[in-house]
């Protein structure tokens, strides 16, 4: 089997992707600087089909690390990033270095190594807060944060590298991916793990704003499948970017209600001031990914929330009062 590179492979989405590739019998090289990724995320059971896992510690913003990481690799799955709007506002330079410069370094290395496919993670944040819904890939981007700018910059670099150098690039604009292994403890943690762990412990989850803001939540297994489809798609998708979402939206208040339903609780959220850079409403049109990648989400929101809640229940130590 060919060797596949997963950057950020010790992180949330990257570790699920690495696990799936190994289970499918592929050899996998994980590149991660472990600034947010965890070794525990790579502690999954050895695959039955015999794929080998190689872990390389390093930062994609280092040109030499990027070159060593792609050496001998057939396909690159680029997931490494600082994935937080608030964190990018606190430290825009670090976000640019990891997300924009890191992607450029990896594109150069992949071009020189003549990899057969370069699949990379972008973000729905590039659309900004335009009122038009659903978000369609042909819309003019209007980023509201350094994070969104860094992701849009990576998209432009990838598109240019396909047009100028012929590098087969495919971008995936993730919409609010959630699932097991997502960190609920960081001050920049995503909303689903924060809500699940708080409600499971009987604590009030914090909503920034009125809670009427809507999101298109998508289970991590769906995102993994989108990456695999992108790695096997036809040439008509090269240089393009696709929405990866469920194509449905709910409010954060509704999210609290659904998680309460899983646990049989009635925990009431508390509200704090809205955060700068946050988007009010988000909803994706996913028809383009269906057309070019043959992808549609297999796991719906409620099933994904139940799987995620079950995982946190198994892995999170009980709080003592």
**What DSSP letter does each residue of 118-141 carry, written as one string?**
EEEEEEGGGGTT-S-SSB-TTSPP
Q: What is the pLDDT of residue 320?
A: 44
Euclidean distance between CA atoms 217 and 301, whole angstroms: 7
* pTM of the shown model: 0.94
Q: What is the pLDDT of residue 185?
A: 83
Write down all domains in the chain, each with its CATH number in brackets. Answer: 3-179+218-247+286-299 (3.40.50.720)
* Residue 251 bridge partners (DSSP): 214
Residues near 172 by Cβ (< 8 Å), separated by ≥ 6?
119, 120, 121, 122, 223, 226, 227, 230, 241, 242, 244
Positions in the chain short of pLDDT 50:
320-321
HSE on the CB side for 77, CA within 13 Å? 31
The two three-digit tokens of residue 9, written as one number: 């492979």
The DSSP bridge pattern shows strands 3-7 and 75-78 to be: parallel
The DSSP bridge pattern shows strands 169-174 and 53-57 to be: unpaired
Q: What is the pLDDT of residue 107?
A: 98
Burial 292-317 (b: 16+ CB within 10 A, else e): bbebebebebeebbebbbebbeeeee
In this predicted model, what pLDDT tens digit does every residue of 77-103 receive, in sequence order?
999 999 888 899 999 999 999 999 999
Residue carrying the six token digits 């659903």: 134
Euclidean distance between CA atoms 52 and 67, whole angstroms: 21
Write down the catalytic residue from 77, 147, 157, 219.
Answer: 147
Q: Which of 233, 92, 246 is nearest to 174 (CA)?
A: 246
Q: What is the pLDDT of residue 50?
A: 67
Q: Is 147 among the residues known to form the active site?
A: yes
The two three-digit tokens of residue 217, written as one number: 């939540």
* Residue 243 bridge partners (DSSP): 173
């Amino acid at each position: 089997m060919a060797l596949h590179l997963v950057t950020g492979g010790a992180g949330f989405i990257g570790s699920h992707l690495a696990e799936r590739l190994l289970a499918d019998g592929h050899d996998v090289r994980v590149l991660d600087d472990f600034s947010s990724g965890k070794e525990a995320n790579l502690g999954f059971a050895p695959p039955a089909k015999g794929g080998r896992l190689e872990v390389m510690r390093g930062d994609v913003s280092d040109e030499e690390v990027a070159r060593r990481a792609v050496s001998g690799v057939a396909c690159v799955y680029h997931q490494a990033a600082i994935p937080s709007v608030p964190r990018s506002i606190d430290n825009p330079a670090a976000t640019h270095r990891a997300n924009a410069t890191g992607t450029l370094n990896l594109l150069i290395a992949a071009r020189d190594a003549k990899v057969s496919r370069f699949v990379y993670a972008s973000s729905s944040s590039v659309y900004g807060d335009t009122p038009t819904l659903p978000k369609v890939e042909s819309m003019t981007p209007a980023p509201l944060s350094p994070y969104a700018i860094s992701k849009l910059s990576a998209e432009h670099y990838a598109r240019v590298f396909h047009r100028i150098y012929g590098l087969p690039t495919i971008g995936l604009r993730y919409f609010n991916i959630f699932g097991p292994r997502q960190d609920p403890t960081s001050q920049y943690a995503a909303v689903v793990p924060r809500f699940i762990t708080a409600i499971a412990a009987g604590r009030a989850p914090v909503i920034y704003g009125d809670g009427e803001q809507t999101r298109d939540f998508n289970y991590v297994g769906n995102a993994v499948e989108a990456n695999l489809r992108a790695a096997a798609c036809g040439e008509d998708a090269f240089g393009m970017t696709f929405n990866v979402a469920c194509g449905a939206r709910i409010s954060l208040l509704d999210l609290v209600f659904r998680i309460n339903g899983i646990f049989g609780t009635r925990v009431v959220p508390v509200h704090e001031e809205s955060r700068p850079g946050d988007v009010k409403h988000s909803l994706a049109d996913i028809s383009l990914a269906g057309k070019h990648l043959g992808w549609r989400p297999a796991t719906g929101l409620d099933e994904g929330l139940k799987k995620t809640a079950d995982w946190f229940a198994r892995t999170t130590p009980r709080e003592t009062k």
